[in-house]
Structure 1
Amino acid sequence: MATSEADGGPGEDGRPGGGSGPQPELDVGRLAGRLAEAPDAQQRIRALLGAILDVSAKLDLSVVLRRIVVTAMELAGARYGALGVLDSEGTALAEFIPVGLDEEETDRLAGVALPHGRGLLGLLISDPRPLRVDDIAAHPRAAGLPPGHPPMRSLLGVAITVRGSVYGNLYLTDRRDARPFDDDDEAVVVALASAAGVAIENARLYERLRSGAEQFQRLLLPSLPDLAPFTSWSLYQPATEPALLGGDWYDALALPGGARAMIVGDVVGHDVRAAAGMAQVRNMLRALAYDADLPPGALLSRLDRTLAGVAEPTMATVCVARIAPTGDGAGWSLLWSSAGHPPPLLVTADGRARYLEGEPDLPLGVDPLLARADHRHELPAGATVLMFTDGLVEHPRRDLGETLGIVADVAAAHAHGPLESLGQAVARARPSDGHDDMAVLALRAPAGGAPGAAPVMATGSATSGSYRRRAAR
């Protein structure tokens, strides 16, 4: 389809009756009767129903719009197609989605302005009834095609309405058999346009829901404070489906006595209630970490008992790590405890990466009387500790060891660069299926000796997949 229309001036529109008005409602019975009279009726009806189901199954608006064009081209056997989306005033095209141009045709039209709907393509804007033109060049509203544009002869245009208003126009040009578009083509494309309006509205509602869910989740997340002498980086990425809104979070605060607390977690579940529960758990953990100078295992135990006593039943996995200067002040010591969570990843400044071993205890919410173990490891100068939720690594068709290895390899390859570069590289490499939300937290030790501050880190993840199986042992 054309990437630029020749906008002609005012004149006869070449349509019987002319005028403007709303698109007539689809007469399903009349349409079925018309299609039934076609020689290939059964095949075409099956193709139409399959196309409607295919378009209706999409939820991403950009995918829906392009799929509508491709489907219409397939149903009518058209060489080119396009969908023009109207502006807020409904008087011009604000977006134009062409399909069918090959690479050479696209290159020739580089820099050509997209159409605005003031010429031949504007007829459907002023009068949103189906439009068929057998010879575009001979039409009174056509003024030629721009230089480099592929030749086009016939046109079929159908308006797409959403909630009673014209959303845009679907244009098809040039049947592949070189015949003009006929009544059957018009009938099947009108039927598709009717279903397309519903699919577009669903996609728009989906986008609003996804945007609102993501905004809600992000409002629960703070900005990381200054954690000097450490540098820090964090990321929250929502799930691809609004229904998978989860409980991932991160947090950071300065504790009395110069310690630092960093927290990432995930309450089990994927809905708004899980996100609300996450906020409750996060705030409890923040208060306990600030008020009590406890090792990680004891802090998790107290949090578990508190949740059991004052909150609705909640399950989550958490890994808490405390980083403190060694006794001689020459380095740092990492103390951590895991409640069913994947282990921290340690990346040294010379580019080596390893997951810190330590059998995880049960998740929070299983046994509040459980005694939790602490594990210790040296943290070399300039080393990075990376913690994340399962949304980074869990994939239903990939082994967990494989995805954890990918994260370790990417982190090691970026050990020499800035912490932000390491974190972003890990997020881009995300080996999960992307259907869960994720949080990633990274903390890098200073290159010099420890000045005596004692940071605390915590991360958590939904209890699912292999982590749930490990916790059940």
Structure 2
Amino acid sequence: MDEDGEAESSPQVPYESLLNLPLSSDLDRIAEQMHALARAQRSLQGLLEAVLGISSDLDLPTVLRRVVRTSMDLVGARYGALGVLDDSGEFLSEFIPLGLDSQELNDLSGVELPRGRGLLGHLIRHPEPLRVPDIGRHPESAGFPPGHPPMRTLLGVAISGRDRIYGNLYLSDRRDGKPFDAQDEGVIRALAGTAGVAIENARLFLQVQRSSERFQRLLLPRLLDLGPFRSCTVYRPASAPGHLGGDWYDAFKLDDGSCVAVIGDVIGHDLEAAAAMSQIRSMLRALSFDGPASPGATLGRLDRIMLATGGHAVTTACVCRFEPVHDGWLMRWSNAGHPPPLVLLPDGDACYLEAEPGIPLGVDADLGRPDHTYPLAPGSTVIMYTDGVVERHDQPLQRGLDSLAATARQLVGEPLEQLCGALADHYPGDGHDDMAVLVLRVPGAGGADGSRS
């Protein structure tokens, strides 16, 4: 207050002076920082989710496409591609583009995929991150082929694993129209590190899968000449990478002119199951040649030998023996817990040989093995298969059996290779288990095989 007791008034600040204060610019700068922080947090969250997503799959083609799609999503890119290097490391052996719509894909039909020239080649020769604000102005730009959509900006990052560069990740044109910045580069570089590990794991898994399948096929027999019988076989591994199975088949002629066909499945999906399958198949073939025992007796002897030699593999199997009779063929069979054989008659009728299946091998060797007989008309076909052909965990087994029989009926009289291939290609199973099919056709009237010429 002044001496008169009146309150002192605050000094008046001119309005024009308020406009000159740095408050507005500070707020703008703070807002930009907050925006950048929020963007960084979103990028980090997206990166963590992307790492989990990419690392969760072991199918190589799926992993490669997921890497590209995830990279596009992280930085808001309209286009993305992954170039896989060839063994020389100098050119692209595979190019996986994403983001092209149907019209753009149609415009590029017939255009050869990039091999690694221009800016793509630059990144191959110089595997450091590359940001280009204007592709057309870069001195190493080679332009685009006819029909290629226009692209302006580029972000390229190399993907490496096990001390070698696997390929390069290319992103083009942010959806907001801005060029790629340092934050985009940092996020994609971080993703590329994870992608390299995921790709290497998927490649190793693919190698294991191929080696497992090759090992499995080496254990299966190559069928000898069964004439006058005709046969065809097929084996397909399960869809799971590295999956080893115990499915097997075998067929051979005996000295008395009869023919034996076997299908079996050792329970398990590992190396031990595959090894047990090979041993059991060999023992069963040897026992079949050792005297005129019935299929049931042969399975009984095999069961006792497995028990005596310390074998603990639970195995399903079906043994069929085809013997000539005056008016055709007699099929004798015994089943150890295996799906029933399917008989396809020359007139197109098909029926499953439903009979006492018995229990699997390796459960109780003291139980008897029942034998069954079925007269076969000349030219009949017997289809033996493992449960992976017909089994789906979300459907009753009978539905798979009905589907298999329907496919067989449609191809009655066709060459055996066509029938066998169709059964394998159109199987009703879910693919979670490996599968084997053995098809055997007895001679027709006059020795013909019953196929259409």
Q: Is TM > 0.5 for Structure 1 vs Structure 2?
A: yes
**Measured at CA, do residues 173 and 378 of structure 1 come closer, stay the same or move farther in structure 2, by a change above 3 Å?**
same
- The whole-number CA distance in structure 1 between the counterparts of 2:171 and 2:221 is 50
Select between 437-446 and 222-231 the one with higher mean Cα deviation. 222-231
Relative distance call for 1:450 and 1:133 in structure 2 (3 A) is closer
Q: How far apart, in 1, do the equivalents of 2:437 and 2:35 lie?
A: 58
Q: In the alignment, which residue of structure 1 is the partner of 2:423?
A: 426
* Offset of residue 286 of structure 1: 0.6
Instruction: Please name the residue that 1:199 is paired with.
Output: 198
Give the structure 1 partner of residue 230 of structure 2: 231
- 1:260 and 1:333 map into 2 onto residues whose CA distance is 11
- After TM superposition, give the deviation of residue 243 of structure 1 in Å: 4.7
Question: 2:266 maps to which residue?
Answer: 267
Percent of residue pairs bearing the same amino acid type: 55
Q: Is the 8 A contact 1:35 1:184 kept in 2?
A: no
Q: How does 1:130-145 map to 2 (within 5 A)?
A: 130-145=129-144
Q: Shift of residue 442 of structure 1? A: 0.5
Partner of 1:99: 98
Equivalent position SS for 1:97: strand
For residue 260 of structure 1, report the CA deviation from its aligned partner.
2.1
Q: CA deviation at 1:292?
A: 2.3
Aligned to 1:149: 148
Q: Residue 460 of structure 1 corresponds to which residue in structure 2?
A: none
Distance 2:151 2:447 in 1: 73
3-state SS of 1:256 partner? coil
Task: Select the structure of larger CA radius of gyration.
Answer: 2
Q: Secondary structure at the match of 2:144?
A: coil
Question: 1:222-249: CA deviations, max 9, x gaps?
Answer: 2112212221110111122245311111
Q: Find the aligned partners of 1:209 and 1:418 in 2 and give their Cα distance.
A: 35
Q: Which has the higher contact order (CA 8 A, sep 6+)?
A: 1
Taking the aligned partners of 2:71 and 2:100, their CA distance within structure 1 comes to 15
Pair 1:399-2:402 in alignment = no
Local SS of the residue matching 1:80: strand
User: What is aligned with 1:389?
Assistant: 386
Which residue of structure 2 aligns with residue 317 of structure 1? 316
In the TM superposition, residue 41 of structure 1 has moved relative to its aligned partner by 3.3
1:293-308 aligned at under 5 Å gives the runs 293-308=292-307
Task: Using the TM superposition, name which of 245-254 and 355-364 deviates more.
Answer: 245-254
Given that residues 315 and 360 in structure 2 are in contact (C-alpha distance below 8 angstroms), is that contact kept between their aligned partners in structure 1? yes
Post-superposition shift, 1:420?
1.2
Aligned counterparts of 2:442 and 2:311: Cα–Cα separation in 1: 38
Which residue number in structure 1 is paired with residue 366 of structure 2?
Answer: 369
Q: Which residue of 1 aligns with 2:336?
A: 339
What CA distance in whole angstroms lies between the structure 1 residues aligned with 2:246 and 2:142? 58
- Which one-letter code corresponds to 2:113 in the other structure? L
In 2, Cα distance between the equivalents of 1:60 and 1:242?
8
- Number of positions where the alignment pairs a residue of Structure 1 with one of Structure 2: 416
- Alignment of 1:447 onto 2:441: no
Which structure 1 segments of 5+ residues have no match?
A: 1-33, 452-473
Q: Letter of the aligned partner of 2:239 in structure 1?
A: T
Structure 2: where are the runs of 5+ without partners?
A: 1-32, 449-453
Q: Hey, what's the Cα distance between the residues in 1 that align with 2:206 and 2:179?
A: 38
8 Å contact 2:260–2:322 — kept in the other structure? no
Local SS of the residue matching 2:256: helix
When normalised by structure 1's length, the TM-score is 0.85
Q: Look up the equivalent residue of 2:337 and give its one-letter code.
A: G
Q: What is the aligned counterpart of 1:414 among 411, 415, 420?
A: 411
- 2 CA distance for matches of 1:335 and 1:131? 72
Q: Structure 2 vs 1, CA of residues 378 and 135 (structure 1 numbering), >3 Å: closer, same or farther?
A: same
Give the residue type in structure 2 aligned to 1:401. Q
Shift of 1:291: 1.1
**One-letter code of the match for 1:415?**
V
Question: In the alignment, what sits opposite 2:128?
Answer: 129
**CA distance in structure 1 between the aligned counterparts of 2:34 and 2:161, rounded to whole angstroms:** 24
